[in-house]
Chains A and B, each alone.
Chain A
Amino acid sequence: MLAKRIIPCLDVKDGRVVKGVQFVGLRDAGDPVEAARRYDEAGADEITFLDITASHEKRGTLLDMVRAAADQIFVPLTVGGGVGSERDIEALLDAGADKIAINTAAVREPELVERAAARWGAQAIVVAIDARRVGTDEPSPTMGAPPGEPGSAPKPPRWTVVTHGGRRETGLDVVAWSKRITELGAGEILLTSMDRDGTKAGYDLALTRAVADAVRVPVIASGGVGTLAHLYEGLVEGGADAALCASIFHDGTYSVAEAKAYLAGRGVPVRLGEPRRGGS
């Protein structure tokens, strides 16, 4: 049975980790390559770099970083952030990335995803979707309808796709967009709740479930993890295939091994570290 994946995500700007990574004995908390190597050793199932470097001139820094990381880690590496063309994709794959995450450019030009998947295979093309809730879980305030009448049925929540780090609304429905972009060739969906991102309040489980049920490719849940129980909820109740995490690991709150031991204890299939030889 396929194991659920735990994926530490490193946000990178100008070749440096945006939020320092706390590892015992780590010489430089801002070095993305060393952080990636440590996560590999710690049993991460994959590693993701999201580059938020604003200027195009500094993209060379990203390529150098990907090259150095790919030489030292032996798990899949996904790179995203500012990927806008086949040339960008090719450069990152040549540098050693295994998968490329496309976000804003997929909305601007869905055919880019189609062409990229045809050229490099669906498995190499991840579409990142930033979602913001526009509906509500609460019963709709239908005037005059007594409780129990059809008019008081809870209105299902809806989400809209946002781009440019949440600053721009696209008007696209997240579930419909997920279906469309996977039909065009996206091999995975990296789904971030912009409402929950950074809150440590847990994943938006209704969002995760809605997309996981709508598409036939793996869904990576992102945005809101603060506790190990949140991981369990996202993977089981939300139906995600993988959990992307940042601060709970970077802060040193939990280790990857602790997260996996917790999930295994609750019956979630995960890849545990290889047993050590010779005793406890």
Chain B
Amino acid sequence: MARIVVVDLGMGNLRSVERAITRAAEDRGVASEVVRSGRAEDVLGADKIVVPGQGAFRDCAAALAGELGEALREAIRRGKPYLGICLGLQALFASSEEAPGAAGLGVFRGAVRRLDPGAGADAVKIPHIGWNRLEMTRTPEGALGAWGAEAPHVYFVHSYHAVPEDPSIVVATVTHGPNVVTAAVARDNVTAVQFHPEKSQGAGLVLLGAFVAA
């Protein structure tokens, strides 16, 4: 039975993420155990890691400053499947404009930047809230390949997004006014999405199911 650890960074409710993973595993007929933990040893003992997060980058960085962050980096180095959601994507980068001086995991090079509200006819609302259709920027491997030919609408709630130095890690983007928003990145065992699969109905459950089943 796959032991999936939902990493608790102390940033709000993880219930919907746990529930969606459990449901997605049931849909795929995969036996799994979903455990919530903020302990380094549980991260290192997991078969798969899911890092959700909603809230402020500074709080996230603070939660990652000690041995929990070290354990996550080590687990990624060892090749453990990692799924980051929202702040769980942004945390993979070194820094964010949202909290100057606060350090992320630094797994990927690049920074997290504030979305541009634009001006005039191009003006958009920030936060970027709602359903936006993914545009795949390359043929996805792994869990992000689960949707097949037609990229779905997925649910976003955020004001910042990651801008990787290496564009080849980007798998999907969405357009929001003047912004080409980084919606999904992947490299080796690491997959991360800016949107919320746990709130993206069927499309989200398909992604979570593919991550659990892989």
Contacts and interface: CB of A to CB of B under 8 A. Distances in A.
B201 A74 contact: yes
Interface stretch (B13-21, B65-73, B74-82, B102-110): B13-21
B203 interface: yes
A85 to B, nearest CB: 18
B132 A70 contact: no
A231 to B, nearest CB: 16
Interface stretch (A105-113, A115-123, A244-252): A115-123
Given A1-B175, A275-B150, A45 B130 contact: yes
Is chain B's interface secondary structure helix, strand, loop, or mixed overall? mixed
Interface residues of B, number: 38
Interface in A222-280: 241-242, 271, 274-275
B13 A122 contact: no
Q: Which of A74, A124, A271 has the most CB of B within 10 A?
A: A74
A241 B130 contact: yes
A204 interface: no
A94 interface: yes
Contacts of A274: 152, 202-203
Contacts, number: 88
Nearest to B117: A216
Contacts of A2: 124, 128, 130-132, 176
B130 A218 contact: yes
Given A1-B132, A3-B132, A121-B54, A98 B15 contact: no
Contacts of A121: 54-56
Given A123-B157, A274-B152, A74 B204 contact: yes
Contact of A70 (B15, B125, B130, B158): B15
A187 B129 CA distance: 9
Interface in A40-64: 40, 43, 45
Nearest to A44: B201
Contacts of B23: 74
Given A218-B125, A241-B125, A75 B201 contact: yes
A131 interface: no
A132 interface: no
Contacts of A187: 127, 129
Contacts of B56: 121
B125 A5 contact: no
B130 A74 contact: no
Contacts of A20: none
Given A2-B176, A76-B199, A123-B157, A93 B13 contact: yes
